[in-house]
Structure 1
Amino acid sequence: MSDLQKSMGGTVGTFVALSTILGSGMMILPGTSYHELGRSVWIPWTIAALSVVPLLYCYAWLGRRHPSASGVAHYAEIALGPSAGRAAGMSATFALVTGIPGTAVTGGRYAAQFSGVGSLTWIFPVLVLAGATAVARVGTNVSGRLQVTLILCLFAVVLLTAAAAVAVHGPKAPATALPPIGRIGGVLTAVYVAFTGWETVAFTFEEHKQPHLIPRIFAASYLIVVTLYALVLAGLFAAVSSHDDALDSAPLLLLAQRAFGGLGRPVTLLLVLAPITANVFASVLALSRLVFGLARSGYLPAPLSRVRARDRNPVTAVLAVGAVLTLIAVTASTGLVPFESLFIVSGGIYFVLYGIGAASFARLAEPRAATRAVTVLCAVTVTAVTLLAGPPMWLCWFLFAAVFAAAALHRRSRTRDPAAAGPPPAPRPAADHQRSPR
């Protein structure tokens, strides 16, 4: 058993967080929501951005006090018991195993559309996943520096594109009319995906040199994410009609063409490929850490917990993750696996994990007035989004409950049969036993 090397500083940690959060949602969500609600779309975006703050507070608190490669699985285990920890870990693994290939295939579809080379639909996902695996195998520092570069480029391009669109077409203020509540609810459920990903960032916390900086990393990445989406929406308000049907398929292309004319297509390609590449690189790194943590806890095969001696990098987990993700991406890009289902399942489970993290915070934090207030806000958010999202979200909660029940039954059967249980597991690293006093 071994800890991971603590090599990640605050700046790199912030950009890794941004890379994990900014993915394929940036390509489409501003356009589809604007097409649905026009310049009133700021209402659900604002609600989503504000309501996610208590959930982020929970993960920042947990990450600072309980940094572990297992992330939410570790939080759930020490707060809610081993069965909850195992269910959270398996659910998180399933979410990432479906979401990362979906993001890579999205990049392949854009690359194929923009170049006219149809084979890029599967070649791009294979290349970007191979690159992400190779970089994660080298180490966290190299991966982090690459993500800093990609996110800085993305921020610069978004800022220039939005500023050019507003300068050419003139600014347009958001609408003040309130759309029907039902339409706001449907859009709110969709745009909430733009504010998921921080639970994935938690899988890298064991490698932070200064865990006390984690709340600042969350705050900085949150403000940057909100700013980027606000810039995109401001550009769309200024330059694109909300009635344009192309908003549902290529909103960034519309925005870039209205801002830069003939240069719109290459600018759009950069707008698309930079966040997708950064997201895949960061997510592969995070998933490899989760797999390592689950194997170290005895939930996955023990060889996946091996680390390289010179830098304590879990290269076995990295290679296994890369191989599985590439296989899924190829099957999804060729139509053997329904592409849309990858995002439906992944997005729903991400939100379930938010709820599990909030429940873990409520159990572990000291019972003060602030703790109770954050817990209530989280409960209201999770309940409201679950009800608004409908059957797809309910299915994800059902899947979590099913995994939890199976884990509980398995644990109970092993407890009743000491011979089947085998020798006790080896002790975990010290980081996995930290717990705040109540």
Structure 2
Amino acid sequence: MSDLQRRMGGTVGTFVALATILGSGMMILPGTSYHELGRSAWIPWAVAAVSVVPLLYCYAWLGRHHPSASGVAHYSGITFGPAVGRTAGMLAALALVAGIPATAITGGRYVAEFSGVASLNWVFPVAVLVGATVVACLGANVSGRLQVGLIVALFALVLCTAVFALKANGVTAPATTLPRFGTLGAVLTAVYVAFTGWETVAFTFEEHKRPDLIPRIFAASYVIVVALYALLLLSLFAVVDPAEKALESAPLLILAQHALGDLGRPIMLLLAVACITANVCASVFALSRLVFGMARSGYLPAPLSRVREHDRNPVTAVLAVGAALTAIVVLSTSGLVGFQVLFVVSGGIYFVLYGVGAAAFAKLASGELARWVSVACAVTVLAVTLLAGPPMWLCWALFALLCLVFLRLRRRPAAPVTSPAGR
């Protein structure tokens, strides 16, 4: 059995987590929520930030005690059996195969709009996926260092924009008016996408030198992500009218133009490139590890579990992932695959995987704290599933259907073999 080399430290692991979590959600969701709810937009963000904590605790605990490239597929497999593990792994792969191209295409749209070059709608996502595949082939050290640089640049740009916006206009107090329940539920469901990604980080746990640092990595990345989203919302409250239509398509561009004037456009172009590139690089790296882990477990073709001898890097899985994602981007930018469909599929499945991971934690962990965390996770998963409506219900139905299919395949008896002499 092939194992990956443990070479990722705590600092790089934290930046990899940040790169995985921060993506197209940061580029769009602060603006759309502000456009819908005005200065009450902080409420769904606060609810999402608080309610996701128990789920993150589950994944941090699982990563520390059961580090594996298969992530949720491994946790659910050792807890509920191979059929559930295989289903979780397949759905995780499907979520990433849909979500990574959607993120890359979002970046292409931003870059094309900022630069005025329409062809960048497809050239940028293809280029960033090819680049991410090359980086993943070079190994965890190169990928990690690149993501550290991109995330540091991203934070510097966001901080610069926010400081200028708040210094020029002052802090506008958030509203305390509670939005209508239906509107709040719809925005909350969308905002949860901005807090997905930690379950994807789990696919890199096998390469951590010290799994005992994983809870600290989760805690540090969570605090930084929440602070970043809060800073963006406060900046929007201060300088942008919630009625502006552009908030639905390019909210950070509007913010930068209000805060920095003529410098806003090129700075926001750099921010978009840094954010999307970091997220795609981290996600391609994570997906290649999932594909490797699934192949090692016998759920995908065995050649995908091959590793390069000198650095234990699963290059075959990396190349397969890069080729598949690039093909999906080409199909989507050609109009053959709906762009919105990619986001719907990815967001719904991500939350299903949170629930599956929480259920595995409830079975594997013991003690009073574990019981309270499990109850909190159950309440969160049930509430979000009910609020999200049919798209989320369909994702849970798909999970149940695949479990049944894989369970029947495992129980199907092998056909009897008749020896030639017995004919």
TM-score (norm 2): 0.97
1:181-210 per-position Cα deviation (integer Å, ceiling 9, x unaligned): 222111111101000000000000000000
Match of 1:417 in 2: 414
Displacement of 1:417: 2.0
Displacement of 1:266: 0.5
Match of 1:405 in 2: 404
Matches within 5 A, 1:118-197: 118-197=118-197
Contact residue 252 and residue 271 of structure 1 kept, 8 A: no
Given residue 303 of structure 2, which amino acid in structure 1 is its aligned partner? P
Displacement of 1:119: 1.1
Matches within 5 A, 1:319-334: 319-334=319-334
Match of 2:9 in 1: 9
Match of 1:252 in 2: 252
1:221-257 per-position Cα deviation (integer Å, ceiling 9, x unaligned): 0000001101100100100011111111110011000
Given residue 411 of structure 1, which amino acid in structure 2 is its aligned partner? R
Displacement of 1:419: 5.9
- Partners in 2 of 1:319 and 1:104 — Cα distance? 17
Match of 1:237 in 2: 237
- Partners in 1 of 2:401 and 2:179 — Cα distance? 38
- Partners in 2 of 1:227 and 1:116 — Cα distance? 32
1:146-190 per-position Cα deviation (integer Å, ceiling 9, x unaligned): 000000111111111111001111210111122222221111111
Match of 2:384 in 1: 385
Matches within 5 A, 1:256-275: 256-275=256-275
- Partners in 1 of 2:23 and 2:50 — Cα distance? 20
- Partners in 2 of 1:331 and 1:118 — Cα distance? 17
Given residue 148 of structure 1, which amino acid in structure 2 is its aligned partner? V
1:36-77 per-position Cα deviation (integer Å, ceiling 9, x unaligned): 111111111000000000000000000000000000000000
- Tell me: CA distance 1:419–1:25, structure 2 relative to 1, closer, same or farther (3 Å): farther
- Partners in 1 of 2:108 and 2:181 — Cα distance? 36
- Partners in 2 of 1:197 and 1:4 — Cα distance? 21
- Partners in 2 of 1:22 and 1:418 — Cα distance? 50
Match of 1:376 in 2: 375
- Tell me: CA distance 1:418–1:82, structure 2 relative to 1, closer, same or farther (3 Å): farther
1:318-370 per-position Cα deviation (integer Å, ceiling 9, x unaligned): 0000000000011111111000000000000000000000000001011x221
Contact residue 162 and residue 235 of structure 2 kept, 8 A: yes
Match of 2:54 in 1: 54
- Structure 1 stretches lacking a partner, 5+ long: 421-438
Deviates more, 1:352-361 or 1:264-273: 264-273
Contact residue 17 and residue 198 of structure 1 kept, 8 A: yes
3-state SS in 1 of match to 2:176: coil
3-state SS in 2 of match to 1:5: coil
Displacement of 1:97: 0.5
- Partners in 1 of 2:361 and 2:146 — Cα distance? 32
Contact residue 27 and residue 250 of structure 2 kept, 8 A: yes
3-state SS in 1 of match to 2:175: coil
- How many residues in Structure 1 have an aligned counterpart in Structure 2? 417
- Partners in 1 of 2:77 and 2:179 — Cα distance? 43
| Root mean square deviation, CA, Å | 0.9
3-state SS in 2 of match to 1:308: coil
Given residue 47 of structure 1, which amino acid in structure 2 is its aligned partner? V
- Partners in 1 of 2:31 and 2:308 — Cα distance? 44
- Partners in 1 of 2:111 and 2:37 — Cα distance? 29
List, as ranges, runs of 4+ consecutive aligned residues in structure 1 with deviation greater than 3 Å.
none
3-state SS in 1 of match to 2:335: coil
- Tell me: CA distance 1:158–1:417, structure 2 relative to 1, closer, same or farther (3 Å): same
Match of 2:308 in 1: 308
3-state SS in 1 of match to 2:174: coil
Displacement of 1:114: 1.4
Matches within 5 A, 1:339-354: 339-354=339-354
Deviates more, 1:169-178 or 1:138-147: 169-178
1:108-159 per-position Cα deviation (integer Å, ceiling 9, x unaligned): 1111111121111111111100100001001000000000000011111111
- Partners in 2 of 1:163 and 1:186 — Cα distance? 31
Given residue 384 of structure 1, which amino acid in structure 2 is its aligned partner? A
Displacement of 1:418: 7.2
Match of 2:421 in 1: none
Contact residue 110 and residue 250 of structure 2 kept, 8 A: no
- Partners in 1 of 2:328 and 2:269 — Cα distance? 24
- Partners in 1 of 2:416 and 2:234 — Cα distance? 64
Match of 2:110 in 1: 110
Match of 2:289 in 1: 289
Given residue 326 of structure 1, which amino acid in structure 2 is its aligned partner? T
Given residue 151 of structure 1, which amino acid in structure 2 is its aligned partner? I
Deviates more, 1:96-105 or 1:177-186: 177-186
- Partners in 2 of 1:118 and 1:411 — Cα distance? 50
